[in-house]
């Protein structure tokens, strides 16, 4: 197949997952091009599929119609509290929006997600995203030809990293945005004997306000914190050598940690539970006290017990037994969608 990733390859400040997905499709024998292609010079019928998402959806659909290609739209989904879901607490959110904020977010999401109704196929990042999109953006209108598909962790790269000696620090790979729950983790750490806690290393980036707020809280409570805005190999090395990963809300980092044989303690947001089930350790979402209790329990658990669960989780991830997956599996799932709908 000839596939065009329409304006959907990432900037350097990203996990590079879309780029990796494209490379995996190439290794499966397909031609994959990106935004560098001059769209005005594409011969009719040359591309079989256009893959797109986010704000470029409608541009991709119009291009597909013009060049005789099929189009697939992928969406990670919506943050339920932004579209007024009454039971948003079960999705892990504990705040309300004003009516104007909700309208603004609904307009933002529906402006490009409506393209999924015109696409040949579409996908959402998990079954728990279906209701917020269908019911709260489009009045219960069922998405046509919709698949559940997640991005995966980069096993092809992770397995090239040699075994390294563990160091006494905890790692978090995440943006510093409020919905990632890092301040909840910080509050959990503040409940413990911070002088005896391992260093907390965060790999990610945030606004000045987010960075200053977290740094100030940790300084006040004497939590040893180290922030790094790094990507690629450097990020993987931090994960590989960590004693444990602390994850608030993030679908990919727990998988990366499993591939690096590093135990994971995550909050049990239903999207994360759906992806990893019993492959990782969980604390109650938004519950700092429970997170603190689970963390101290894990830090005092025999390493062999942690390794046994982590190795089993890694095996399940690599073998495709979990909804969370590797990029190789994610590419094969996307390939299957394309082939079934040619």
The secondary structure of 144-210 as a DSSP string is TTEEE---EE-HHHHTTSPP----SEEEEE----GGG-HHHHHHHHHTS-TTTSPEEEEE----HHH
Asked if 333 and 274 sit in the same domain, the reply is: no
Instruction: Give the domain range for residue 255.
Output: 155-323
Asked if 146 and 209 sit in the same domain, the reply is: no
Asked if 140 and 28 sit in the same domain, the reply is: yes
What does the pLDDT read at residue 13? 44
Asked if 237 and 203 sit in the same domain, the reply is: yes
Asked if 142 and 189 sit in the same domain, the reply is: no
Asked if 164 and 284 sit in the same domain, the reply is: yes
- Provide the number of structural domains found in the chain: 2
Among 283, 323, 270, 288, which Cα is nearest to 88's? 270
Mean per-residue pLDDT, 20-34:
92
- Residue 32 to residue 280: CA distance in whole angstroms: 34
9: pLDDT strictly greater than 80 = no
Asked if 229 and 336 sit in the same domain, the reply is: no
CATH number at residue 221: 3.40.50.2000
Asked if 68 and 161 sit in the same domain, the reply is: no
11: pLDDT strictly greater than 70 = no
Asked if 307 and 160 sit in the same domain, the reply is: yes
Asked if 52 and 108 sit in the same domain, the reply is: yes
Question: pTM of the entire structure?
Answer: 0.87
Tens digits of per-residue pLDDT, 120-149? Answer: 999 998 888 888 899 889 999 999 999 998
Give Dmax over CA atoms of the chain in angstroms: 66
Asked if 146 and 6 sit in the same domain, the reply is: yes
What does the pLDDT read at residue 6? 87
């Amino acid at each position: 197949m000839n596939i065009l990733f329409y304006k959907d390859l990432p900037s350097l400040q990203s996990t590079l997952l879309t780029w990796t997905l494209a490379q995996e499709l190439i290794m499966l024998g397909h031609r994959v091009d990106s935004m560098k292609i001059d769209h005005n010079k594409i011969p009719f019928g040359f591309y079989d599929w256009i893959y797109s998402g986010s704000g470029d959806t409608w541009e991709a659909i119009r291009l597909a119609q013009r060049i005789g290609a099929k189009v697939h739209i992928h969406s990670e989904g919506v943050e339920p509290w932004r579209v007024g879901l009454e039971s948003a607490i079960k999705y892990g959110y504990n705040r309300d929006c004003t009516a104007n904020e909700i309208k603004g977010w609904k307009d933002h999401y529906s402006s490009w997600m409506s393209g999924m109704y015109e696409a040949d196929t579409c996908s959402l990042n998990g079954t728990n995203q279906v209701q917020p999109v269908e019911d709260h953006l489009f009045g219960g209108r069922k998405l046509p030809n919709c698949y559940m598909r997640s991005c995966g962790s980069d096993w092809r790269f992770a397995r090239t990293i040699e075994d390294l000696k563990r160091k006494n620090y905890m790692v978090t790979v995440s943006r510093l945005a409020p919905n990632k729950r890092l301040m909840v983790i910080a509050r959990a750490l503040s409940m413990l004997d911070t002088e005896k806690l391992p260093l907390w290393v965060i790999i990610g980036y945030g606004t000045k306000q987010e960075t200053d707020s977290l740094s100030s809280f940790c300084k006040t409570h004497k939590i040893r914190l180290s922030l790094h805005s790094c990507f690629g190999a450097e990020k993987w090395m931090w994960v590989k050598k960590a004693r444990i990963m602390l994850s608030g809300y993030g679908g990919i980092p727990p998988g990366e940690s499993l591939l690096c044989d590093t135990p994971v303690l995550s909050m049990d947001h239903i999207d994360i539970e759906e992806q990893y089930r019993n492959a990782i350790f969980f604390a109650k979402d938004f519950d700092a006290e429970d997170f603190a209790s689970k963390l101290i329990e894990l830090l005092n658990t025999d390493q062999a017990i942690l390794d046994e669960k982590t190795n089993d989780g890694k095996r399940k991830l690599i073998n495709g037994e979990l909804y969370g997956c590797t990029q190789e599996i994610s590419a094969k799932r996307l390939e299957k969608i394309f082939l079934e709908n040619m």
